[in-house]
Amino acid sequence: MTRLLSHIVAAEDAGQRLDALLAARGLYPSRSAAARAVDDGAVYVNGASVAKKHAVAAGDTIVYQVEDAIEAGPLAGQPIDLDIRFEDEHLIVLSKQAGLVCHPSVDHDDGTLVNALVFHCGAENLCNVQGEDDRLGIVHRLDRDTTGLMLAAKTDEAGYALMADIRDRAVDRRYLALVHGVVAHDTGMVDAPIARSANERTRMAVRVAPSAREAITTFRVLERFEPRAKDDGYTLIDCKLFTGRTHQIRVHMEYAKHPLVGDPVYSSRSPKDASADLGLDRQFLHSFQLGFAHPETGEDLRFFDALPEDLQTALDTLSDRSEGLTAAGQEVFEALSR
């Protein structure tokens, strides 16, 4: 079924190409999908059909068509364990385990979170707001080796609402990260645009480029661990996402000269060193808090997820080097212990 939806251009988006805006605001799953929709006459600006390179103005009314998923995709369900924390007829809150890819890709054609969701719910009972049959239920993602809380949607209505709330920064997403070095200030913010690296297409980077997108991460220091002869210490931080770019926390903390411990891509320190010292074989990054308004009832929901065993063991290894919890650290660990 085809639906007509509308969007009012904000002042901050004035001057953008139409297809770029449609993708950046999550109205279509990608810029290429947005461009196809414009070329197919499925998008109107102030009642007129325009080119995909049209520069939008503040206050413009964009009307665009979306197709509701009717037929289930061919993706097979697989009996993969799901740690579900909340479920109703609209959505699921789950804690993702390390090593689980969110959706199929060139390198992972099965064994993904989507395969698990299809097995658990049935493909016909998952949203398809991404417009692709291999992304059923997905409204946001966690990296393969990042653990913790994330959302999945069952209905398209819930999916569109949750994606809009994420885009509008109405979903509270917080992560525990252990970084190299002793962070000097108790709070900080990294406001730096992210784009694909000009040199390595598999990496993201902070850079000024036409394709760069706004990215904002704030953090609070929870606990510091004193340096030793073979390292410069560590800091446990609570990161909050205000945007949702690929690898955002990992890229931003590398940019801030405090890369994540165990990160195989964005750390100049050898992940093998972290593995040997702390028993880690992945980056120390865990989605520990998720707060949002239920898209159907409006109820405020908030979930907490304690560190998985491997990350907790790494912290325990550093316990004799702790400088003590900060006030923010006491607050976070009290919440996690409830």
Are β-strands 147-153 and 285-293 bridged in parallel, bridged antiparallel, or unpaired?
parallel
- Best CA proximity match to 298, nearest among 94, 172, 163, 158: 158
Counting every residue written for the chain, the total comes to: 338
- Compute the distance between CA of residue 23 and CA of residue 9 in angstroms, rounded to an integer: 13
Type of residue found at 274: A
Q: Is 143 a catalytic residue?
A: yes
Q: Counting beta carbons within 10 angstroms of the beta carbon of residue 299, is it exposed (0 to 12), middle (13 to 18) or buried (19 or more)?
A: exposed
CB-based contact 64:37 (threshold 8 Å) = yes
- Compute the distance between CA of residue 155 and CA of residue 316 in angstroms, rounded to an integer: 41
- Active-site pick, 19, 60, 143, 145: 143
- Compute the distance between CA of residue 28 and CA of residue 31 in angstroms, rounded to an integer: 7
- Compute the distance between CA of residue 205 and CA of residue 192 in angstroms, rounded to an integer: 10
147 C-beta neighbours (distance < 10 Å), count: 28
- Compute the distance between CA of residue 132 and CA of residue 141 in angstroms, rounded to an integer: 15
Residues with active-site annotation = 143
